[in-house]
Amino acid sequence: MGRQIVLDTETTGLSAEGGDRIIEIGCVELLNRKFTGNNLHFYLNPDRDSHEDALKVHGISNEFLRDKPRFGDVVQEVLDYVKGAEIIIHNAAFDVGFLNKELELLGMPTFGSFVEAVTDTLAMAKEMFPGKRNSLNALCDRLGVDNSGRTLHGALLDAELLADVYINLTRGQDALLIDLGAIEGAGQGPVQLDLSQFHLQVLAPNESELAAHGDVLAQLDKASGGNTIWRRDTRDQPQSMA
């Protein structure tokens, strides 16, 4: 499954092209869908004040940021950290747009050129829950992720919450892969898997289900002109001697 980085930013406003800047970046590392604790977090001096509306969202004062490093001071550490990973972001276009602008101001290539891929959990959620609210808070409520400590936005906290949301969003499709990835030695060659550890319920078909199955097989056999594999296998079996 590899290395994934869940990323979030806070900004001075909504428009990177209009001169708004990143003031906080938080990253949480997942390895085989497990938290590693190898996180990355910076507050940044944007060389401008936050808009009033933005201040109400993130609560990070302009004074607090005055002595913090600028994006250019930490850019190499950030890029080294995310290099080659799948990046998971909620509403990725927003954060990637800001990251691209910061990199452009430094004369550097776009963010996507440093990472393996960018996955947008907002797009995933809209596909899974069409017509519903899919903000991070709404998804936390829907998926049972505890966000009781989230009174204001904060990049690292939001990244941690989003990591839990992402794991829950994808749990169904990846459950077996998660179990396999957790087995010691997985990813280092063939793994001997003891299937006795899995307890699967066996449901036998009833008469009507068997009849319906037989009808489908008959229709397929008719459509193929009697050349279905199961008919051919039956014909090819040696007849017993009388």
Sign, CA torsion 194/198/199/205: negative
Sign, CA torsion 40/54/99/107: negative
Amino acid at site 100 = N
Stretch 35-47: mean pLDDT:
96
Helix (H, G, I), strand (E, B) or coil at 109: coil
Tens of pLDDT along 132-182? 999 999 999 999 999 887 766 789 999 999 999 999 999 865 444 444 554
* Per-residue pLDDT, 215: 83
Domains in the chain and their CATH numbers? 3-182 (3.30.420.10), 207-236 (no CATH)
Query: Strand ranges (DSSP E) for the chain?
Result: 3-11, 22-31, 34-35, 40-43, 86-89, 117-120
Tens of pLDDT along 1-32? 589 999 999 999 999 999 999 999 999 999 99
* Per-residue pLDDT, 44: 98
Contact 122, 139 (CB under 8 A): no
User: In which region does residue 89 sit, left (phi positive, over 0), alpha (psi from -120 to 50) or beta (all else)?
Assistant: beta
What does DSSP say about strands 34-35 and 22-31: parallel, antiparallel, or unpaired? antiparallel
Residues with catalytic annotation? 153
The encoded tokens of residue 61 equal 């004062």
The encoded tokens of residue 111 equal 């963010």
Please give the model's pTM, rounded to 2 decimal places. Answer: 0.70
Burial class (CB in 10 A: 0-12, 13-18, 19+), 80: exposed
Burial class (CB in 10 A: 0-12, 13-18, 19+), 175: exposed
Number of residues that make up the chain: 242
